[in-house]
Structure 1
Amino acid sequence: MTKHTLRAAPANRQTPAFPAILAASLLLLSACGAAPGESAVPPSGAATDPAGSSPTGEGGEAKESRAPVPRLVLTHSAGVSVLDAKTLETVAEVRLEGFNRLSQAGDGRHVLISTGDAFRVFDSGVWTERHGDHGHSYAGPPQLTGRAFAAGEAGHVVNHAKRTALFSDGTGKVEIFDPATLSDALKTGLPATTAYTAPEAHHGVAIPLEGGKLLVTLGNEERRRGLALLAAPAGEEGRERAELLRNEECPGVHGEAVAAGGTVVAGCEDGMLVYRDGAFTKVASPDPYGRMGNQAGSPASPVILGDYKVDPKAVLERPTRISLVDTATGALQLVDLGTSYSFRSLGRGPAGEALVLGTDGALHVLDPETGVEIRSIPVVPAWEEPEIWQDPRPALFVQGSTAYVTEPATSRIHAVDLTSGRVVKSGELRDVPNELTGVTG
Structure 2
Amino acid sequence: MFQPKLQNKLSLVALLVASSLLSACGDSTTNIVEKEPIAGDDGDDHDHDHDEISSVGRLVISAKDSNLVSVYEMEDGSLLDSFAVADTPSALAASAGKRYALVVQRTTDRVEFVDGGLFQEDHVDHLHDYQQAPALSSFVLSESRPTHITSTDSQTAVFFDGDGNSSTPAAVAVITDADITTDSNGYPVLHYTTHMHGAAQARGEYVLSTIRDANSATTLPDKVGLYHAHDDHFHEEMVFTETCPGLHGSAQNEHVIAFGCTDGVLVIAQEGETFTASKIANTDDFSDTMRIGTLVGAEHAEHLVGFAGSSMFAIHAEDGEMELVDWQGGEGAGIIGYGFADKGEKFVLLDNQGYLTILNYHGHEHEGAAAEPAFEFAAKVQLTSADVSTMPNGSRFELAISASDDKVYVTNPIDSTLLTVDIADAEVVATKQLNFIPHKLVWLGIAEAAEAHDH
Tell me which residue corresponds to 1:412: 417
What percent of counterpart residues are identical? 21
Amino acid at match of 2:245: P
The structure, 1 or 2, with the larger RCO (C-alpha pairs under 8 Å, 6+ apart) is 1
Q: Deviations over 1:189-214 (max 9, x none)?
A: x342112112321111221113x122
What is aligned with 2:8?
29
Hey, what does 1:306 align to over in structure 2? Answer: 306
Q: Give the TM-score of the pair, scaled to structure 1.
A: 0.78
The reply on whether 1:232 has 2:225 as its aligned counterpart is no
Whole-angstrom CA distance in 2 between matches of 1:386 and 1:214: 43
Structure 1 position 72, deviation (Å):
0.8
- Tell me the CA shift for residue 307 of structure 1: 1.9
CA contact (8 A) 1:226 1:249 kept: yes
Picking from 372, 382, 387, the partner of 2:376 is: 372
2:255 pairs with 1:255: no
**1:42–1:91 contact (8 Å) kept in structure 2:** no
Q: Provide the C-alpha distance between the structure 2 equivalents of 1:284 and 1:166, rounded to a whole number of angstroms.
A: 28
Contact 1:361/1:383, CA 8 A, preserved across alignment = no
Matched, 1:202 2:196: yes
- Summarize the Cα distance change of 1:197–1:382 in structure 2 as closer, same or farther, 3 Å threshold: farther
Aligned equivalent of 1:315: none
Aligned residues: 391
Contact 1:295 1:304 in 2 (8 A): yes
Are the equivalent residues in 1 in contact too, given 2:197–2:221 (CA < 8 A)? no
What's 1:179 paired with? Answer: 177
Counterparts of 1:23 and 1:335, CA distance in 2: 49
Deviation at 1:308, TM superposition (A): 1.4
The residue aligned with 2:369 is: none
Equivalent positions of 1:2-401 (< 5 A) are: 24-31=3-10, 33=12, 35=14, 38-39=17-18, 41=21, 47=26, 49=28, 60-64=30-34, 66=50, 67-69=53-55, 70-77=57-64, 78=66, 79-96=68-85, 97-116=87-106, 117-160=109-152, 162-170=154-162, 171-183=169-181, 185-186=182-183, 190-210=184-204, 212-219=205-212, 222-233=218-229, 239=233, 241-247=235-241, 249-259=243-253, 261-277=254-270, 278-285=275-282, 286-309=286-309, 319=310, 321-336=311-326, 337-339=328-330, 340-342=332-334, 344-349=336-341, 350-368=343-361, 369=363, 370=373, 371-381=375-385, 384=388, 391-400=394-403, 401=406
Work out the CA distance in 2 between the residues paired with 1:411 and 1:387. Answer: 10
CA distance, structure 2, for counterparts of residue 60 and residue 351 of structure 1? 34
Question: Aligned with 2:178: secondary structure?
Answer: helix
Distance in 1 (CA, whole Å) between partners of 2:390 and 2:3 is 38
Cα distance change on mapping 1:146 and 1:180 into 2, 3 Å: closer
Q: Deviations over 1:134-190 (max 9, x none)?
A: 44444333232233111111222222372222221112111223323431x13xxx3
Specify whether residues 343 and 275 from structure 1 end up closer, same or farther in structure 2 by C-alpha distance, changes over 3 A only.
farther
* TM-score normalized with structure 2 length: 0.76
In the aligned structure 1, how far is the partner of 2:314 from the partner of 2:386? 25
Q: 1:422 aligns with which of 427, 431, 434?
A: 427
Contact 1:182 1:191 in 2 (8 A): no
Residues 320-368 of structure 1: per-residue CA shift (max 9 Å, x gap)? x222212222222223523255553211122342211133432212245
Structure 2: distance between partners of 1:341 and 1:37 = 44
Residue in structure 2 matching 1:432, options 427, 430, 437: 437
Structure 1 unaligned segments of length 5 or more: list them.
Answer: 1-21, 50-58, 310-318
- For residue 29 of structure 1, give the secondary structure of its aligned residue in structure 2: coil
CA–CA separation in structure 2 for the residues paired with 1:385 and 1:268:
33
Summarize the Cα distance change of 1:238–1:307 in structure 2 as closer, same or farther, 3 Å threshold: closer
- On the 8 A contact 1:43/1:91 being kept in 2, the answer is no
Cα distance in 2, alignment partners of residues 385 and 283 from structure 1? 38
Correspondence for 1:13: none
Q: CA 1:348–1:240 in 2, change beyond 3 Å: closer, same or farther?
A: closer
**Taking structure 1 as reference, are residues 387 and 179 closer, same or farther at Cα in structure 2, changes over 3 Å only?**
same
In structure 2, C-alpha distance between the alignment counterparts of 1:111 and 1:34, rounded to whole Å: 21
Q: For residues 225-281 of structure 1, give each alpha carbon's deviation from its aligned partner in whole angstroms, at most 9, with x where no partner exists.
A: 3342324235xx77451332325532221222223x242222223332222232223
3-state SS of 2:229 partner:
coil
For residues 382 and 250 of structure 1, the distance between their equivalents in structure 2, rounded to whole angstroms, comes to 42
Q: Is the 8 Å Cα contact of residues 336 and 398 (structure 2) preserved in structure 1?
A: yes
Structure 2, gaps ≥5 residues long: 36-49, 163-168, 364-372, 447-455
Whole-angstrom CA distance in 1 between matches of 2:278 and 2:387: 37
- The verdict on how the C-alpha distance between 1:225 and 1:182 changes in structure 2, with shifts beyond 3 A counting, is closer
Q: Helix, strand or coil: the match of 1:180?
A: helix
Matched AA of 2:61: L
CA contact (8 A) 1:195 1:239 kept: yes
Question: Equivalent residue of 1:356, what SS?
Answer: strand
Counterpart amino acid of 1:432?
Answer: I
Q: Distance in 2 between matches of 1:168 and 1:123?
A: 22
Q: Distance in 1 between matches of 2:396 and 2:418?
A: 12
